[in-house]
């Protein structure tokens, strides 16, 4: 029988409220694995034993792949459950190691023995098991410093667990343990990466996307939906709000000095986010503690410090900008790792690229911006748009 051992990351170090974090983590894991089959969950110290219920059918590789995206886990190990008898471990264990060892050059054995009644001590287990492996796979060399494969044998209370492969977990803390926030999600490269980085620190994320049909196409919306789907194992539970901003953008085009249109649009987006926050607050559910954007200092005209000051002034919640000090190459590396890159580079237009001014103001002053906004009731159009938001859950 094979099971999965999932080891806690940071939450293993939490004190009194470790249990709360643990409960959130397990709830998230169950949600992520729900469509793969049924599992038994057993928690012992800082390890979660995940065992498929019934025989066969569960795709354990896919299970491991999903778990490797769940924040709060430091490592995931698929392992074979063996009787606590050294001869049986060798007999049943060797064939299990073939896949990992046949093509490797070097290995080392690590043993852990929490069941002190087991007749061999840790160094003995390591030595004996290492010898048996060398007999069975004579092409291998032992390398204690830099082995290609580490074979881990843990002798625990219930059984012995043999595993040849340790997969690094996503780290971070469980989504939901820090509350929730609202992400401004475009179809670009940056905002999905921002979502990943913030979810890693325990925030559950809902998304807000603006589209401007007919200037933006149905496919641009599908792109944003694909991004939410791709991020699902990381974000666990996301409600996407789609707001049609066509009228707001046309009003800005027709009434606002062109060089200020970028900063005014950005502020109207923030005001739309404020409205969603207040609507939630009234209903008393899933209240947001912050807004998240994919802004990065100096990347484009709307991302200078003075433009950021103008957008911040419109916000009723703290605005989190996890990418603020990152280079594009660093952002792209993460986008590739989390599987959003290929979707983000699809060439469909974003509403921000509709009516873009030739020379956006890079140094806007809040006073001037507020003065310009006072000349037209953009806010009424923003409110109408938010009230007609389309919702989809991921």
Give the binding site for Mg ion (CB under 5 A). 186, 188, 350
Cβ atoms of 84 and 159 within 8 Å: the answer is yes
Q: How far is the CB of 295 from Mg ion (least distance, A)?
A: 10
Residue 184 interacts, among Mg ion, ligand ATP, none and using kind-specific CB cut-offs from 5 to 8 Å, with ligand ATP
| Residue among 72, 342, 59, 393 nearest 232 (CA) | 393
DSSP-based three-state secondary structure for 168: strand
Interface pick for ligand ATP out of 4, 351, 385, 386 (rule CB under 6 A): 351
- Establish if 199 lies at the interface with ligand ATP (CB under 6 A): no
CA distance 110 to 126: 6
Q: Find the binding residues for ligand ATP in span 247-276 (CB under 6 A).
A: 269
Residue 60 CB coordination number (10 Å): 15
Q: Is 184 in the site for ligand ATP (CB under 6 A)?
A: yes
Is 373 one of the binding residues for ligand ATP (CB under 6 A)?
no
- Smallest distance from the beta carbon of 325 to ligand ATP, in angstroms? 14
Taking contact as CB under 6 A, which single stretch among the options 122-130, 143-151, 349-357, 365-373 is the one that binds ligand ATP? 349-357
- Taking the complex as a whole, the smallest distance from the CB of residue 214 to Mg ion amounts, in Å, to 19
Asked if residue 299 binds ligand ATP (CB under 6 A), the reply is yes
Instruction: List beta partners, residue 319.
Output: 291
Whole-angstrom CA distances from 63 to 22, 265, 303 are 19, 43, 40
Would you say 186 or 233 has its CB closer to Mg ion?
186
Q: Does 322 interact with ligand ATP (rule: CB under 6 A)?
A: no
Residue nearest to Mg ion (CB): 188
Looking at the DSSP bridge assignments, the partners of residue 142 are: 107
Q: How many CA atoms lie within 13 A of 163 on its CB side?
A: 20
State which of residues 246, 302, 304, 340 lies at the interface with ligand ATP (CB under 6 A). 302
Peptide bond into 214 cis (omega under 30): yes
Q: Are 294 and 259 in contact (CB under 8 A)?
A: no
Closer residue to ligand ATP in complex, CB, 128/350: 350
> Binding residue for ligand ATP (CB under 6 A) from 29, 295, 322, 385?
295
Structure token pair of residue 383: 């409110």
Q: Does 186 bind ligand ATP (CB under 6 A)?
A: yes
Q: What is the DSSP string of 322-370?
A: TTTT--HHHHHHHHHHHT-HHHHTS----GGGTT--SS--SS--HHHHH
Residues 206-235 that bind ligand ATP (CB under 6 A): 208-210
In the complex, which residues of this chain contact ligand ATP (CB under 6 A)?
184-186, 188-191, 208-210, 269, 293-295, 299-300, 302, 350-352
């Amino acid at each position: 029988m094979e099971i999965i051992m999932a080891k806690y990351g940071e939450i293993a170090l939490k004190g009194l409220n470790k249990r709360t974090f643990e409960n959130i983590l397990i709830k998230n894991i169950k949600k992520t694995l729900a469509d793969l089959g049924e599992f038994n969950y057993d928690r012992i110290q800082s390890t979660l034993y995940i065992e498929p219920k019934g025989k066969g059918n569960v795709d354990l590789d896919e299970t491991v792949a999903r778990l490797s995206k769940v924040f709060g886990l430091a490592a995931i190990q698929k392992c074979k459950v063996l009787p606590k008898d050294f001869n049986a471990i060798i007999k049943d264990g060797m064939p299990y190691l073939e896949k990992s060892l046949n093509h490797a050059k070097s290995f080392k054995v690590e043993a852990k023995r929490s069941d002190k009644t087991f007749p061999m001590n840790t160094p003995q287990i390591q030595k004996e098991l290492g010898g048996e492996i060398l007999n069975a796979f004579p092409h291998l060399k032992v390398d204690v410093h830099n082995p290609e494969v580490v074979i881990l044998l843990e002798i625990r209370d219930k059984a012995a667990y043999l595993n040849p492969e340790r997969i690094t977990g996503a780290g971070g803390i469980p989504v939901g343990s820090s509350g929730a926030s609202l992400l401004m999600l475009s179809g670009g490269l940056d905002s999905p990466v921002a979502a990943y980085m913030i979810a890693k620190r325990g925030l559950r994320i809902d998304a807000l996307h603006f589209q401007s049909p007919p200037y933006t196409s149905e496919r641009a919306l599908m792109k944003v939906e694909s991004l939410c789907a791709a991020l699902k194992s990381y974000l666990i539970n996301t409600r996407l709000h789609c707001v049609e901003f066509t009228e707001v953008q046309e009003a800005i085009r027709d009434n606002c000095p062109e060089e200020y249109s970028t900063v005014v649009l950005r502020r109207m987006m923030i005001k739309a986010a404020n409205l969603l926050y207040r609507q939630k607050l009234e209903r008393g559910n899933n209240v947001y503690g912050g807004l998240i954007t994919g802004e990065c200092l100096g990347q484009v005209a709307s991302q200078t410090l003075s433009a950021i000051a103008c957008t911040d002034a419109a916000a009723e919640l703290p605005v989190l900008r996890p990418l603020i000090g990152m280079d594009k190459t660093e952002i792209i590396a993460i986008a590739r790792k989390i599987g959003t890159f290929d979707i983000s580079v699809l060439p469909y237009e974003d509403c921000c690229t509709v009516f873009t001014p030739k020379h956006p103001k890079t140094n806007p002053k809040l006073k001037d911006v507020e003065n310009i906004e006072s000349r037209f009731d953009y806010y009424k159009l923003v409110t109408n748009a938010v009230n007609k938001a389309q919702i989809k859950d991921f």
